[in-house]
Amino acid sequence: MSNLFVARRSLMLGGAALAFAPVAAVAAGPDLGKPAPPFTAVDSNGKTWSLADLKGKVVVIETTNHDCPYVRKHYNSQNMQTQQREAAAKGVVWLSSASSAVGEEGHVTAPQANELTKSRGAAPAAVLLDPQSKIARAYGATVTPHMYIIDASGVLVYRGGIDSIPSSNAADIPKAKQYVRIALDEVLAGKPVTEASTRPYGCSLKYGRSAS
């Protein structure tokens, strides 16, 4: 009797296998421990940055949207700027990626981006202009701020939130575990990252509506 089942099931499975078409995965990010997705982008000063050119350096990517309350939490409290400075002092290349699509909240032009950097006292190596959300898509970013660390050999070693308390309240920052700072220290010390994948939190990344 069971061979009848086999016949029937294989009929079904055959159908199913053929029907298995990959569904466009919006938020399927790259794997940890694998080479980070390459990208080339122009920054707010017109300079072109390519991940391939940064081999040998540790790179941080921060998705940003200056109007997002969670981004504001970390800028108004100076948490983000402080970490950017610490990173720069250790030779880490910190790239803020303004990935909001044109017409969406957080989209900035080059002068606006420079003005924000100045007024907020930010210190990233560069603010990348990503109006087509290409970098965000390549990295599967879902929120702002969504944080990534790439080690000197170009391997993705951290992805997730900036810290451990998902709230919009700046008073939580001192109580939170600063995941990115801890992970950077581990990477620079040549150690594996203990918490390499954490829950990202924040506003949804503003991908263009028509694009997705």
Tokens of 37: 């997705």
Binding letters toward other proteins, positions 95-124, x by CB under 8 A: ---------xx-------------------
As a whole number of angstroms, the distance between CA 99 and CA 132 comes to: 7
Candidate segments 84-92, 147-155, 174-182, 194-202, binder of other proteins by CB under 8 A: 194-202
DSSP strands (E only) in 134-212: 143-144, 147-150, 156-160, 203-204
- Min. distance of Cβ 15 from other proteins in angstroms? 3
As a whole number of angstroms, the distance between CA 122 and CA 79 comes to: 10
192 scored as a contact of other proteins (CB under 8 A): no
- Min. distance of Cβ 95 from other proteins in angstroms? 21
167 scored as a contact of other proteins (CB under 8 A): yes
Q: Which is nearer to other proteins, 105 or 185 (CB)?
A: 105
68 scored as a contact of other proteins (CB under 8 A): yes
Tokens of 73: 């939490």
Listed residue (135, 146, 66) closest to 99, CA to CA: 135
- Min. distance of Cβ 100 from other proteins in angstroms? 10
Tokens of 51: 């991940």
* Count of all residues that appear for the chain in the document: 212
20 scored as a contact of other proteins (CB under 8 A): yes
Q: Which is nearer to other proteins, 100 or 123 (CB)?
A: 100
- Binding footprint of other proteins, residue count (CB under 8 A): 50
Containing 16, the helix (H) or strand (E) segment is helix 2-19
Listed residue (177, 212, 211, 169) closest to 194, CA to CA: 177
134 residue type, one letter: K
- Min. distance of Cβ 182 from other proteins in angstroms? 15
Q: Contact positions toward other proteins, by CB under 8 A?
A: 1-5, 7-8, 11-20, 23, 26-27, 29, 32, 67-69, 104-105, 142-143, 159-160, 166-169, 195-197, 199-209, 212
